[in-house]
């Protein structure tokens, strides 16, 4: 290519194509916003199944307050069956940590029995794992529990 053509080529490269119209800008902006909304919706759906299963496990597991480890394991196992079929996440660990406990005095039950009222604050953690992808989901939530313990008079 001779020098004259190279000069022309350089001049062309310096030319800036005309800017897109305001209509195109707003159309693209709208498309990007819609795309973000759609992908957010997809993320919510993707998380919903394991989350629903986690909530189901939590409900079953927390229902058995103060029960032994064997019973808790049984409940986790049964919760596996409540997981929606499309999810392959499985609960692999559950833990509750007692953060604080406070005696709130005595209460009288309907049958006249005296009972202690104890308020406890726990931190519950449930870990889910997808064996296919090794992805894990950890669900941690604080929980307040009030227990009524009948007083045995001696």
Partner 1 sequence: MEAGSSDDDWKQWFERHGPKLLLCARQWTRTLADAEDVVQEVFARYWRHQRWLAGEPLALLVTSIRRAACDLARRDERRSRREAQTEVMLGEGDGRMFETPFEGEERRAAIERALRAIPAEQREVLVLRVWGELTFAEIAEQLDVPANTVASRYRYALVALRERLKASDTECHGR
Residue ranges that bind partner 1, judged by CB under 8 A:
1, 4-5, 8-9, 11-21, 23-25, 27-28, 31-32, 34-35, 38-39
CB of residue 28 to partner 1, shortest distance in Å: 5
The residue among 44 and 151 lying less far from partner 1, judged by its C-beta, is 44
The residue among 31 and 59 lying less far from partner 1, judged by its C-beta, is 31
CB of residue 34 to partner 1, shortest distance in Å: 8
Angle formed by the axes of helices 22-63 and 69-82, to 10°? 140
Q: Could you count the other beta carbons within 10 Å of the beta carbon of residue 60? A: 16
CB of residue 8 to partner 1, shortest distance in Å: 5
Give the residue from 18, 28, 102, 94 showing the smallest Cα distance to 62. Answer: 94
The residue among 35 and 140 lying less far from partner 1, judged by its C-beta, is 35
CB of residue 87 to partner 1, shortest distance in Å: 24
Query: How big is the chain by its Cα radius of gyration, in Å?
Result: 30
The residue among 20 and 142 lying less far from partner 1, judged by its C-beta, is 20
Pairing of strands 135-150, 114-130: antiparallel
Alpha-carbon span 30 to 23, nearest angstrom: 10
Residue 136 phi, psi dihedral angles, 5° rounding? -130, 155
């Amino acid at each position: 290519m001779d020098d004259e053509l190279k000069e022309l080529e350089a001049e062309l490269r310096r030319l800036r194509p005309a800017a897109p119209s305001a209509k195109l800008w707003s159309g693209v902006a709208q498309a990007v916003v819609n795309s973000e909304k759609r992908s957010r919706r997809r993320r919510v759906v993707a998380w919903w199944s394991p989350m629903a299963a986690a909530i189901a496990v939590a409900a079953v597991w927390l229902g058995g307050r103060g029960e032994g480890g064997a019973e808790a394991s049984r409940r986790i196992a049964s919760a596996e069956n409540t997981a929606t079929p499309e999810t392959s996440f499985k609960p692999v660990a559950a833990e509750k940590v007692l953060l604080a406990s406070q005696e709130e005095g005595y209460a009288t039950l309907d049958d006249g029995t005296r009972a202690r009222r104890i308020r406890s604050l726990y931190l519950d953690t449930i870990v889910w794992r997808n064996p296919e992808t090794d992805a894990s989901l950890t669900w941690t939530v604080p929980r307040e529990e009030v227990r009524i313990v009948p007083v045995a008079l001696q």
